[in-house]
Amino acid sequence: MSWASWTTAGVYTGRGGVLTVEAGIVTGDLTVHTTFAEREARVAVQYSGASDWFTMSGSPVPCASEEESRDLHDAVVAAVREGNGATVPTLPAVPPV
């Protein structure tokens, strides 16, 4: 079983913030965390320096590989910076090799 996680702190939301399951829209200085296990990625955000994590709307999402989950994390960070009630983006499908 493959497992990985990524955390990016100091991500400022764009206007309109990020949509979360537990708290609705959150804005400001956030930490973004993505965990990959069992072909699934879970994305959460927290106010930087706080202890409570909030599930980002659209999480969890299927991910075929650790590499794909890393790409997803990068796309989530970009979406958070864009704001507009950001949710977990959908990565383009990669055709099987």
Residue 2 has a pLDDT of 79
Residue 10 has a pLDDT of 96
Residue 27 has a pLDDT of 97
Q: Could you say which residues of the chain have pLDDT below 50? A: 95-97
Residue 38 has a pLDDT of 92
Phi (first) and psi of residue 93, to 5 degrees: -70, 135
Residue 49 has a pLDDT of 87
Question: Cα 93 to the chain's mean position, in Å?
Answer: 18
| Sequence-distant (≥ 6) Cβ neighbours of residue 4 within 8 angstroms | 35, 36, 37, 66, 69, 70
pTM metric for this prediction: 0.91
